[in-house]
Chains A and B, each alone.
Chain A
């Protein structure tokens, strides 16, 4: 009898744990019913079925207030993060930080983008925030799109996939107050969709190295090289740096190069020791984890009489 009671008690505990574990794990938007449903199982299969269309009239603006077209943002399928600064600012930042760690720097996955509701977000805050993240940030007026309006009223951050034709799919709300085990599964599922198949196409540094020949000591020389974006997405140059204090880049960090575009970087070098030298400029991008390296070499000659 005692054993039976014990087994029954254990069964209740296990059942309770399973219910708690699977219940309310994630929410997704059901387009047909126009309400939020809780998916308890097989959610990965259901994610693909949920599709919304972003209204054509909705316009994206960057943090400087410039209008950006949908095609400029997506160019294929891109991962987006909706940031809600009104409801839970920290949840949004956590959601973005997770993506940054998970897929932020990858050679095959285009950089995700962030959207914020322009009605309840302080544009100055967005501008300041965009300086800290390697992803582009856009604001949209959610009132212009019914679907976005419904989603934004939940005041929670969510992930989604956006295509150039405005189709929004795989909407995923990661609730902050529960275990987020499903988030990894979600990303495992969607990463295949947004991966770039033509990984051979990439960023190119032209030229990869430069021989300055003989240069004078303590004289400033300019170095110029180009970055060609041969990919199909915007590539963000998150930093241009050198471990040598003798090199100064004239470009600011954290800017984007549109697909197919070429950007020119100018830096200056001043050397104070005679002899042969070889210095490197490192370009960190959101395109791959390892920095791109541009090498400049030459020989320093002459006395310390040159003027800066």
Chain B
């Protein structure tokens, strides 16, 4: 009798100790349904027809307000590579991924200080993958994916906040006090509330409010799709988003809705009537023209990187005011004329593909000094003689092992 009793108790213990139900995640949501899907509004997207044949841009007077910012070079601020440049009214924040460092410069390129510190302490980061500015609060936040935390600093580098990641994301931006998070194709099975969605809008402590750009589990196993390098681009008050599942559309994200902002159409529509998995496969096939996911916006212009014949990236510049398009290998001008006027360096180099938008008016192109020196050294005396006096001085004083230089410029209406 005693053994039967013990046996029954043991069986009960075994049966009640295991549960087939999944535990609720730490967000307090147990199913996907409890977080709203970000509503899509139709909006008024700008449709850009990419020209069939690329041509060089014969526009000598396209660039205006060109300035060169030489980032100060010291042992402390030697930059490996510039992954991101964020700018506020008077500062430039540079995220150097190679050196795992966030550097603060003033707008003239003088180094001010390093933000944050590498380490294992709560206020230190292990490996930063993304930084974002909250211009209202004058703070900068660093996403440390290895340390699973989001650290917030004020502009002087003082830690003002630190929160553990409640789910995985690889890019974040601040929008009206909320966080816009690119969850991409990360597996968030422990937080099913946001899993299988590429974009999440959350409150300031990562409680999800909206989710968007859902995808199927089959896609997760697909080897063909990756997250773009810069999925979230801020411009003025707006925030723009791109993902590979809608490969020709740039979305404008607000804290309560999304709408297509730019739709690129190519000569051939590669993705019409394809499901997500088919799109992911189609992305890997060679195409004549592809949007590479890199876009930059200013008040009057939008610039998209278009890959031609799976090889070179060319800029497609769209004028928002006139609707005109410039698409080509670079600026060209007739500099062989006997009395050609002095030219700025950017005109003679001819590359206007921007790396970032430094503010709402101007683009920014990051140049490595050694590459600039190689280009200028390859010119003949005549072309070098055409350089504007200030740029000639800059070229002559160029040190190849210095920090990158920034070409900051605006464009004339075309």
**B residues less than 8 Å from A125 (CB atoms):** 80, 98
Contact B402–A128 (Cβ < 8 Å): no
Tell me, yes or no, whether B401 is within 8 Å of chain A by CB: yes
One digit per residue, 1 when the CB lies within 8 angstroms of any chain B CB and 0 when it does not, for chain A 176-210 equals: 00000000000000000000000000000000000
Contact A123–B374 (Cβ < 8 Å): no
Contact B78–A127 (Cβ < 8 Å): yes
Contact B370–A122 (Cβ < 8 Å): yes
Contact B99–A124 (Cβ < 8 Å): no
Q: Closest Cβ of chain B: how far from A3's Cβ, in Å?
A: 42
State A122–B98 Cα separation when bound (angstroms). 13
* B-facing residues in A101-147 (Cβ within 8 Å): 119, 121-128
Chain B facing A: main interface SS: loop
- With contacts A128-B98, A128-B99 taken as known, whether A123 is within 8 angstroms of B78 at the C-beta atoms is no
**B residues less than 8 Å from A63 (CB atoms):** 401
Tell me, yes or no, whether A65 is within 8 Å of chain B by CB: yes
State A122–B369 Cα separation when bound (angstroms). 9
Tell me, yes or no, whether B290 is within 8 Å of chain A by CB: no
Contact B374–A119 (Cβ < 8 Å): yes
**A residues less than 8 Å from B388 (CB atoms):** none
State A72–B228 Cα separation when bound (angstroms). 47
Contact A65–B401 (Cβ < 8 Å): yes
Contact A127–B374 (Cβ < 8 Å): no
State A65–B401 Cα separation when bound (angstroms). 9
Interface size on A, residues (CB 8 A): 11
State A266–B70 Cα separation when bound (angstroms). 37
Interface size on B, residues (CB 8 A): 14
**A residues less than 8 Å from B78 (CB atoms):** 124, 127-128
State A203–B98 Cα separation when bound (angstroms). 35
Contact A124–B402 (Cβ < 8 Å): yes
Q: Closest Cβ of chain A: how far from B405's Cβ, in Å?
A: 12
Tell me, yes or no, whether B389 is within 8 Å of chain A by CB: no
Which of chain B's residues has its CB closest to A125's CB?
B80
State A127–B79 Cα separation when bound (angstroms). 11
Tell me, yes or no, whether B403 is within 8 Å of chain A by CB: yes
- 16 further interface pairs, Cβ-Cβ under 8 Å (given A122-B371, A123-B370, A124-B79): A63-B401, A65-B401, A121-B370, A122-B368, A123-B400, A124-B368, A124-B369, A124-B370, A124-B400, A124-B402, A124-B403, A125-B80, A125-B98, A127-B401, A128-B80, A128-B99
- Between A and B, 18 residue pairs with Cβ closer than 8 Å are A63-B401, A119-B374, A122-B370, A123-B370, A123-B400, A123-B401, A124-B78, A124-B79, A124-B370, A124-B400, A124-B401, A124-B402, A124-B403, A125-B80, A125-B98, A127-B401, A128-B98, A128-B99
